[in-house]
């Protein structure tokens, strides 16, 4: 019984270790591309909720590794910080091919068709992680 408990405890520690190492890793080997998009909406008061719902549907596209949808954080106002966007969309891909699959996906085209009249500016930065 004691040996069994010890072994089970080791497995639990192993599980926690995997979880912790994922959290702490600065450069997970597989996340090679960050597709970062900022949106400025014409009528945020009217359209923000519906637009975010559109983003939530968009990030279900199958080639996406992980995705974050956000709004400006209330950090200190500084000249170098742009808080003027309304929605930030951060999408991770394992490869350029996965990114291209997303760009050409029907659901991406549907998102653009349904929401492009809502934004006045889009700014994209694509980063390859070292």
Give the closest residue to 93 by CA, choosing from 111, 79, 108, 73: 108
* Residue 46 C-beta: closest distance to a copy of itself, Å: 18
Contact of 18 with 79, CB cutoff 8 Å: no
Assess 29 for contact with a copy of itself (CB under 8 A). no
Sign of CA dihedral 68, 73, 79, 84: positive
Establish if 104 lies at the interface with a copy of itself (CB under 8 A): no
| Closer residue to a copy of itself (CB): 110 or 129 | 129
- Tell me the closest approach of the beta carbon of residue 43 to a copy of itself, in angstroms: 19
**Tokens 């559109």 appear where?**
54
Is residue 43 near a copy of itself by the rule CB under 8 A?
no
Query: Given the structure tokens 């089970």, which residue do they identify?
Result: 8
Instruction: Check if the beta carbon of residue 58 is closer than 8 Å to that of residue 102.
Output: no
Unique residue bearing structure tokens 């990114």:
99
Give the residues lining the site for a copy of itself (CB under 8 A).
4, 7-8, 11-12, 14-15, 18-19, 22-27, 31, 33-36, 38, 52, 59, 65-76, 78, 80-83, 85, 88, 90, 96, 99-100, 103, 122-130
């Amino acid at each position: 019984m004691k040996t069994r408990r010890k072994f089970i405890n080791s497995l639990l520690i192993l599980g926690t270790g995997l979880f912790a190492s994922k959290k702490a890793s600065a450069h997970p080997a597989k996340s090679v591309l960050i597709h970062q998009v900022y949106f400025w909406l014409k009528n945020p008061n009217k359209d923000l909720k519906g637009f975010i719902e559109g983003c939530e549907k968009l990030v279900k596209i199958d080639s996406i590794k992980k995705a974050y949808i956000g709004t400006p954080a209330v950090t200190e106002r500084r000249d170098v910080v742009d808080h003027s966007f309304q929605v930030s969309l951060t999408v991770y891909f394992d490869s350029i091919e996965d990114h291209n699959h997303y760009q050409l996906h029907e659901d991406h085209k549907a998102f653009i068709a349904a929401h492009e009249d809502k934004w006045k500016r889009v700014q994209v930065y694509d980063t390859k992680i070292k």
